[in-house]
Amino acid sequence: MNDGNATLAAPDMEGLKPGFTEPVFEAQEAFRTVLNTLSYAGRVHTLETELDPPAPLDPAMAAMALTLFDFDTPVWLDAAIADGAAPDFLRFHCGAPLVAAEGEARFAVVANLSKMPPLDRFAIGEDRYPDRSATLLIQVPSLTGGPAMTWRGPGIDGAITVAIAGLPADFWAQWADNHALYPLGVDVIFAAGRALVGLPRGIQVEG
């Protein structure tokens, strides 16, 4: 599904799951939650959504996709997501082009953490346009059950302890490199079930 031609294939309408029932209001509510998530970095926010997205997408991941993706946003899917019904779901409801190269994506959707590409494969922006960088939506098993790390930076009153579970062993080393690029770099939103935690590039993380 990740080769360039797949974008043109007709979606399988048979097994297609529905998107938002009230797109205007559900997208607005989801956006406010995502805005709060990235603004108050490190805090767990919960989305009130009744979405039943195709596996392996969690409701929070699908809600972010339906809220933020459209024809303007090339999207990169990891293999775990690209193999199932999710690509048809995203293509039909968002109309977003799916791209095979990580560096071309505005959004990346990651569910298989063991095979997650290194952060530096994604667009980090340009020195005059640091906003032209990727936002990674990473689905994790839990937002509270992992090793405790101390986060500091804009959006955090002093420091906050966050325990994201299931990340690759060298993720935080990669994150330190990403943070060092500030104001360039990627931004991350972690999701588990209906819950979200934001990790914008300005956040410094210590073990």
Partner 1 sequence: MNAVVEKASWDEAYNFAYLDEQTKRMIRRALLKAVAIPGYQVPFGGREMPLAYGWGTGGMQVTASVIGPSDTLKVIDQGADDTTNAVSIRRFFKRVAGVATTEATEEASVIQTRHRIPEKPLKEGQVLVYQVPQPEPLRKLEPRETETRKMHGYAEYGLMHVRLYEDISRFGHIATTYSYPVMVNGRYVMSPSPIPKFDNPKMENNPAIQLFGAGREKRIYAIPPYTSVKSLDFDDHPFEVQRWPQACALCGARDSYLDEVVLDDKGGRMFVCSDTHFCADRQEKGHRGPMAADPAAGAFARSSDTSARKEGER
Contacting residues toward partner 1, per CB under 8 A: 22-29, 31-32, 34-36, 38-41, 48, 67-68, 70, 72-73, 106, 126-131, 133, 135, 154-158, 182-183, 187, 200-202
Comparison of 12 and 50: residue with beta carbon closer to partner 1 = 50
| Minimum CB distance to partner 1, residue 25 (Å) | 5
Task: Using DSSP, state whether 146 is helix, strand or coil.
Answer: coil
Query: Which string of DSSP letters, residue by residue, matches 71-111?
Result: TT--EEE-HHHHTSSHHHHHHHHH-PPB-S-GGG-SEEEE-
Task: Using DSSP, state whether 2 is helix, strand or coil.
Answer: coil
Q: What is the DSSP letter of 103?
A: G
Comparison of 97 and 155: residue with beta carbon closer to partner 1 = 155
Comparison of 133 and 139: residue with beta carbon closer to partner 1 = 133
Residue 1: other Cβ atoms inside 10 A: 18
The alpha-carbon radius of gyration of the chain (Å, integer) is 16
Comparison of 142 and 182: residue with beta carbon closer to partner 1 = 182
| Minimum CB distance to partner 1, residue 55 (Å) | 24
Q: Please count the residues of the chain.
A: 207
| Minimum CB distance to partner 1, residue 82 (Å) | 22
| Minimum CB distance to partner 1, residue 133 (Å) | 8
Number of H helices, E strands in the chain: 5, 11
CA distance 123 to 134: 5
| Minimum CB distance to partner 1, residue 3 (Å) | 26
Comparison of 158 and 207: residue with beta carbon closer to partner 1 = 158
